[in-house]
Structure 1
Amino acid sequence: MGWIGYDTEEKWIQFSREIDGKYVEGGLFKSSQVKANISNWRIVLDTQLIATGRTRTTHTRIRARFVNISGFTFKIHKNGLFSKIGRLFGMQNILIGDSIFDDKFIIKGNDEQKVKQLFSNKKIREMINAQSGIYLEITDEYGGSNILENNIAELKFSVDGEIKDVDRLKQLFELFEKLLNELCNMGMIDRINSKL
């Protein structure tokens, strides 16, 4: 068992079976993972240890790589105290036009119209809104190191702690599938041919 607790490992094995994925046990230097091909997108669940001074925190990650045709990026997270202070000082925030969603989340991106188009999808907003905590972005970094190239990027979710709730994991994988399909339909991204 690599980096995750025994109870988390049991839940991840159950989750992998329920989504017809593959559980890969980790080791000393590598986290355990669940990998699944959903709508021909390869989606990976794992954990990451983040060191801050003497403290180490475990984060659950979900990632999917793709060809970023347009160079499009965005970040979305829940609105908090620091976000409210940032807004007072003119921090960029893209408003979607749904007042409840706009009040609850901070969205940044490099193409305001495309961000609005992506999040105009009501189902996507509902799926994001259902999450108790969320940090979601398109990045050109892979696992914390800037090694992606040839227009390869990844959609990445991150949250503090280990997610053990199988239903929540299913919801997050469904959110990834919905976001990736929508971005593909918008002509922004394309699939990478990969196998488990």
Structure 2
Amino acid sequence: MNPFYTMPNILTETSEGATAHSLQDELFKEREIELVGEITQESAYSIILQLRYLQKSDSAAPITVYINSPGGEVASGLALYDVMRAVKCPVRTVCVGTAASMAAILFASGTERGILPHGKIMIHDPLTTGINGSALTIDSLSRNLMETRQITAGILAKHTGRPLDEIFACTAKDTYFNAQEAVGFGLADYIVEEM
């Protein structure tokens, strides 16, 4: 996050005086969560805790996750995916910018998926960098990467209704979808015109 960016505060006056709380806290009370920036172990766990808390407070009311993310760690993203699917309350997703890579998978898994008119979705195969080590180590890493590819493609196929072969063809390279294309492909349900 930009060090010069500050989250706006909301001032509330009561008989005991004025109190300030963050805009993010106010939106959380409305069951709205933000997934912004890279998906890391820490950011995924923060969203997981928020989802669990909101389910505990009301297991039937929907939760909305606003996504603007380039993706990130697949293992952390899959943990978040599992929790999003396991909580009892519906988890709506809204793309407010870009949902790429692992973030695209999380976006596509929403029970209801909206994308803003200028939003973009990007899907591709899981990536790895800096592979080194013995032949056996590299073979093991390669098998693990191919298994992860199968898992992530399977998730996209499930949530888009597209055949696995078509998903593999799209994820073999970076494939971008604008809002209309995302709806047509089954990644999103509708274009958000009003919030």
TM-score normalised by length of structure 1: 0.26
The structure having more radius of gyration, on CA atoms, is: 2
More strand by share: 1
Q: Which has the higher contact order (CA 8 A, sep 6+)?
A: 1
More helix by share: 2
